[in-house]
Structure 1
């Protein structure tokens, strides 16, 4: 099974999302994913472990069975350039639709839990950057470096979980950009 096929399943995306926030036991996942049957949850966990996207970081014996705690293998849940280049436009659209559906579900959950109508703890932003391919790669690298210390913070009484999503895509050149490129090449 291709990495994209493993990652881009709605149930597995939810599992990865939950485990990416903190290591989880099967019981913790089952409580948060009550709409998923237990055998189905185990099936998807086993696929993710076999694909080396998740790893078992702890096993405790409880009531005659072993309770496993799962964590994300660092960097395993990211599709690289090589993975993406092997996908068709239809597969990429399907992947994006799944991502957006999970994002919509997360946002609906956020709105449902807000009783005070105080929405100053969220934001939506869109920015248009003008970058060469090399500058874009540098931007991504620096963005990753910027996030590393923030990702290391552990849960605490004064800390709330904050979900951060990004969508990055190149836009077709605008007419103005094309005109400027043509002037520069003359």
Structure 2
């Protein structure tokens, strides 16, 4: 029997899986490091959600090593898979769109709070920015802009020694 893949929205609209993928954006972490970064998530739940994301092809195991009789896995996120394509977005309910958007906003707020509370805000001001612009575009213009931004960012999606990790979030909302 031919099974169709689980929609991205079904996988990522779960708060724990969302948080796991956000922690792995552009980096490799062990499951122990994930547990340290998500201390409120019970260990069994964390491992179960990691397994779901591996099975769906979102996470890859890049290394394994034996630690005190168990196998510790180092994971990475396939950033190309975490996007909801237009067909799937059209199939989502308004409530699913609200939930997805709220997850993004919640994560942004939590990341900002962590930066402010770390005491590392002012030394890293050159890496911080937030603003809004109004653009006047049609669908073709917006596609051209998105393609150009993707091409510009592509060389910077892999971890590189000596480079800091910066999470760039972009949101495009039609004005109604």
Assess same fold via TM > 0.5.
yes
2:3 match: none
1:164 paired residue among 151, 155, 168: 168
Q: Distance in 2 between matches of 1:160 and 1:21?
A: 11
**Alpha-carbon distance, 1:166 to partner:** 0.9
Runs of 4+ in 1 over 6 A off after TM superposition: none
Does the alignment pair 1:130 with 2:136? Answer: yes
Further displaced range: 54-63 or 38-47: 54-63
2:7 paired residue among 2, 6, 20: 2
Further displaced range: 118-127 or 145-154: 118-127
What secondary structure does 1:52 align onto? coil
Q: Distance in 1 between matches of 2:14 and 2:115?
A: 22
**Alpha-carbon distance, 1:139 to partner:** 0.8
1:85-143 superposed Cα distances (whole Å, 9 cap, x missing partner): 11011110111111111111111101101267567331211111111111111111110
The answer (yes or no) to whether the contact 2:65–2:73 under 8 Å persists in 1 is: yes
Structure 1 unaligned blocks of 5 or more? 173-186
The answer (yes or no) to whether the contact 1:30–1:38 under 8 Å persists in 2 is: yes
1:102 match: 107
Q: Which has the higher contact order (CA 8 A, sep 6+)?
A: 2
Please identify the structure whose Cα radius of gyration is greater: 1
Q: TM-score, normalised by structure 2?
A: 0.88
What is the count of residue pairs matched by the alignment?
Answer: 170
Q: Distance in 2 between matches of 1:36 and 1:155?
A: 30
Q: 1:118 to 1:72 in 2, by over 3 A?
A: closer
What secondary structure does 2:75 align onto? strand
**Alpha-carbon distance, 1:64 to partner:** 1.8
**Alpha-carbon distance, 1:39 to partner:** 0.6
Q: TM-score, normalised by structure 1?
A: 0.84
The answer (yes or no) to whether the contact 1:55–1:70 under 8 Å persists in 2 is: yes
